[in-house]
Amino acid sequence: MAACVKSVSSHGIPVLEIVVVRALVSAVLSYGDIKRKKLSLWGNNKPWLIARGLVGAFTLMLVYYAVTVLPLAEATILQYLHPVFTAVLAFYFLKEAIYRSTIICIVLSLLGLCVMIQPILMQANAGLASSQLETTVQYSWLALGAGIGGALGSAIAYIIVKKLTATDDSSVIIFYFPVITLPIALVLLGRDFVMPSLGVAGALVLVGIFTQVGQVGLTKALHSADANKATAYAYVQVVFAAVIGWVYFGEIPILTSFIGGGLILLGAVVNVLGRR
């Protein structure tokens, strides 16, 4: 999904337009799934379903902005601070125990994160003289803030989803996300709509399809396991993003990316096998 977002944005498509199409595709797919299951369209726990949609809408905008302005691997890394936030929030609000294997996974993944973003931080601290480079550093910090904000928003959304899995079907939970996101994004987009070419339109549709696959998988994972453990597996996406960024966008990883990625994968393995 992130790779498709980055590809589409390179053709001048605004972030909010990507959000609109993503929400439209997801709404159609979710609606069809709800009808197939013969469920009530609006669910049971409406206040929390609406809250999930609102949090998800603004989080999605932050995440997509970070993806469009940062290298794919770095943007994904920042987004996947969310398991840390999720573990803390789940401990306080859902009274979930945090397993030792999950703590080790988070520590190793955060260490990998620090290794991978070290070049950005060193560049920012160097006080580069060139005005062009100064602008780049400031731009990176803006994207950094968007990525961290998106991670926190994701964690809040996942805590709400975990709570909703006790009362509502996964398809209904997912449906509220695009239905609430769509009108908000349309209003914010205003007249900035850009007519995409046929190929770009296809990539926009893929954003919605891949997002739907991810949403279904994550919602079912949250139904089957504690929120902190289920979301910690998501760190593996950082490695997927690095490979796709390398192959498709020509973003060649540096040594720190390989070291950091290795630590993240090690953390994921510990999280999978730690309780056995």
What count of other Cβ atoms lies within 10 Å of the Cβ of residue 265?
17
Q: One digit per residue, pLDDT tens: the chain, 276 residues?
A: 888 888 898 888 988 899 899 999 999 999 999 999 998 888 899 999 999 999 989 998 888 888 888 776 667 777 767 777 888 888 888 888 877 887 888 888 788 877 876 765 565 555 544 444 444 444 467 888 888 898 899 889 989 988 898 899 888 998 998 999 999 999 989 888 899 999 999 999 999 999 889 888 888 888 887 777 777 677 677 778 778 888 887 877 778 877 887 887 788 778 777 666
- Which pLDDT score, from 0 to 100, does residue 140 have? 67
Q: What is the DSSP letter of 226?
A: -
Q: What is the DSSP letter of 275?
A: T
Quick check: 83 and 231 in contact, CB under 8 A?
yes
pTM of this prediction? 0.72
**Termini Cα distance of the chain:** 32
How far apart CA 181 and CA 22 sit, in angstroms, is: 9
Q: Which amino acid is at 232?
A: A
How far apart CA 141 and CA 132 sit, in angstroms, is: 15
- Which pLDDT score, from 0 to 100, does residue 133 have? 43
What count of other Cβ atoms lies within 10 Å of the Cβ of residue 258?
14
- Which pLDDT score, from 0 to 100, does residue 119 have? 67
- Which pLDDT score, from 0 to 100, does residue 122 have? 63
Residues 6+ apart with CB under 8 A from 57: 19, 177, 180, 181, 184, 185
How far apart CA 146 and CA 182 sit, in angstroms, is: 20
- Which pLDDT score, from 0 to 100, does residue 121 have? 58
Give the closest residue to 143 by CA, choosing from 78, 201, 89, 98.
78
Quick check: 218 and 41 in contact, CB under 8 A?
no
- Which pLDDT score, from 0 to 100, does residue 182 have? 93
Q: What is the CA radius of gyration of the chain?
A: 19
- Which pLDDT score, from 0 to 100, does residue 66 have? 85
How far apart CA 128 and CA 132 sit, in angstroms, is: 9
Helix, strand or coil for residue 6? Answer: helix
Quick check: 87 and 72 in contact, CB under 8 A?
no
- Which pLDDT score, from 0 to 100, does residue 205 have? 94
Enclosing H/E stretch for 66 = helix 46-69
- Which pLDDT score, from 0 to 100, does residue 134 have? 44
- Domain boundaries defined on the chain: 2-273
